[in-house]
Amino acid sequence: MARVAFLGLGVMGGPMAGHLTAAGHEVAVFNRTAAKAEAWVATHGHRSAATPRQAAAGAEFVMACVGNDKDLRAVCLGEDGAFAGMADGAVFVDHTTVSARVTRELSGRAAEAGLGFVDAPVSGGQAGAENGALSIMCGGTASDYARAEPVMTAYARICRRLGESGAGQIAKMMNQIAIAGLVQGLAEALHFGEKSGMDGRAVVEVISQGAAGSWQMANRHETMLEGRFDFGFAVDWMRKDLGICLEAADETGAALPVTALVDQFYKEVQAMGGGRWDTSSLIARLRRFSAD
């Protein structure tokens, strides 16, 4: 079993760190809000630390799941950052969805310090984190990945290296691009059915068994029809992720017309007060505008 530090105990990080303890790893945790780290320790045992550096001291692996590029830099760099506390040869594993640019920057800084670095963003949402069934998309050297992969299996359904540093983040962008279009399509289909007087549940039972079927349809159609959005992956975070996708598209010359459009639809959901609603709340926007 390994000595592991986990930085960031939100709706994703908290359960992921819990799976590490269940797998028998020795875990030290850090969270920007110390009370959350203390509550995690009260439930799972082990120890909390006042800074990322203190959490990382003596760890073979340091996992992070924080908010954005700025948050990731904050837990990695500086006098109290994890890199300052990690021993030579330790591996930093970043589960945050961030830009490939900051991933490559931090990977380079880690290499200069004699550390390994794996970018390993996750998909599967809060339920996937709680059930230990996340899809993990990884970038980094083959040797760093090979060392970290057995630790990540504690909360993974599938874990795969897809290339060098930044490849995991590019794969996560592809994941979010695909989800954005799927959720909008599902929202439009259900909304159209409502306006046409159809029984949405009955229709989904049929079409979900054909080419229209998807995870979103299977897991979100019921709550979309009921107008319940107080769970899952928040619109605010989806807009952060889509912003990363669109910025990367500008850099690479990729055309993402549907993604750009759905990003604006999510902006309208935010204006409706739905920033913390689940991403399936796109149907609420359709209902509102059709009623106006």
User: How confident is the model over 52-89, as pLDDT tens digits?
Assistant: 999 999 999 999 999 999 999 999 999 999 999 999 99
Of the candidates 115, 22, 18, the residue with the CA atom closest to the CA atom of residue 65: 18
195 is catalytic: no
Contact present, 52 and 9 (Cβ < 8 Å): no
How confident is the model at residue 261, as a pLDDT? 98
Percent of the chain with pLDDT over 90: 98
Q: How confident is the model at residue 270 (pLDDT cuts 50, 70, 90)?
A: very high
CB neighbours (10 Å) of residue 274? Answer: 20
- Mean pLDDT along residues 203-223: 97
**Residue 8 predicted with pLDDT over 70:** yes
**Residue 291 predicted with pLDDT over 90:** no
CA distances from 123 to 20, 63, 107, 156 (A): 18, 16, 21, 10
Q: How confident is the model at residue 232 (pLDDT cuts 50, 70, 90)?
A: confident
CA distances from 279 to 99, 127, 225, 227, 250 (A): 20, 14, 14, 12, 24
How confident is the model at residue 292, as a pLDDT? 67
Q: How confident is the model at residue 102 (pLDDT cuts 50, 70, 90)?
A: very high
**In angstroms, rounded to a whole number, what is the distance separating the alpha carbons of residues 285 and 292?**
11
pTM: 0.94
How confident is the model at residue 30, as a pLDDT? 98
Write down all domains in the chain, each with its CATH number in brackets.
3-164 (3.40.50.720), 170-291 (1.10.1040.10)
Strands (E), 72-112: 91-94
* Vertex 216 angle, CA 63 and 123, to 5°: 10
**In angstroms, rounded to a whole number, what is the distance separating the alpha carbons of residues 75 and 18?**
20
Q: Which of 172, 195, 240, 267 is catalytic?
A: 172
How confident is the model at residue 122, as a pLDDT? 98
- Mean pLDDT along residues 80-103: 98
Longest alpha-carbon distance in the chain: 65
